Amino acid sequence: MSGLDLKTKIHNGEIIYGTMISVLRNPRWIESITKLGLDYVIIDNEHSPLGRSEVADLLAILKFTNIVPIVRIPIPDGHYTTMAVDAGSHGVLAPYCETVDQVEEVVAACKWRPLKGKFVDKIIKGQEFPSEETKLYLENKNKNNICIIGIESVPAINNLDDILSVNGIDAVFVGPNDLTISLGIPDQYDHPEYKKAVKYIIDKSKSKGIPTLVHQQTLDLTREWIENGSNFVLYSSDSRMVNNFIKEIDYIKSLGDKVLGKEERQIINKEDLGDVI
């Protein structure tokens, strides 16, 4: 599946599913990830230690799968956007955008590369192209590119109307941890203010025909936001999957300890394994 296929699918009202890759470096892991039946993956280049060459290797392998690869760049920046797309990504997630200027820079690099400088500024500001031939060339060259904008703070929410007026945004990303910190309620995902903020982002984006991703780590939270209109689903991450596996192993060890009559381990209860994939 291409980036264009993914955009068509989401704009036809279908729900699409993906996860985050943040710690896996060996491309051989992609074989296991393809078995999950995902539509896309986001390779994290913001919070992870993945280097440029490692990201390129993962992108090279994903090219032979039916999963659309997207890179979360370190900052909302045109240079990082171009590097990701040139390496084989079908688009970018630009984190923590708060201004129209930031969004315009990312959109320009994602949708109109390799044009730069004053000419691409003219396109972003007024859709003025050097020629019709150039317009058709750039549209075809970048047709698979997906541009996702991170709305993760109170200033971003305050500027949301202006940000969403920028042509070329394919989806809006909500980072729950960053957003709750900005709201003054760190990691309180059941807090009314957090829920109100996310619902506002979803509804405002939907009114512009733009889908929203809410990156949640548990099944309950993911279900809640699917039910509240988030049809661009981003669930969990590779590191979370590994952590869940460790929880399962700890639970299995506690069962073995009971059989041997050993003192019970002070570990997670079976009931707390509900978010394990």
Chain mean position to CA 153:
16
CA atoms within 13 A on the CB side of 50: 28
Phi, psi of 45 (to 5 degrees): -115, 15
274 versus 145: which is more confidently predicted? Answer: 145
- Per-residue burial over 180-215, b if 16 or more Cβ lie within 10 Å, else e, is bebbebeeebeeeebeebbeebbebbeeeebbbbbb
Residue 84, both tokens:
């990701």
Q: Which fold has domain 3-237?
A: TIM Barrel (3.20.20)
Task: Judge whether residue 247 has pLDDT over 70.
Answer: no
Task: Judge whether residue 276 has pLDDT over 50.
Answer: no
pLDDT in tens, 180-199: 999 999 999 999 999 999 99
Inter-residue contact 94 to 74 (CB < 8 Å): no
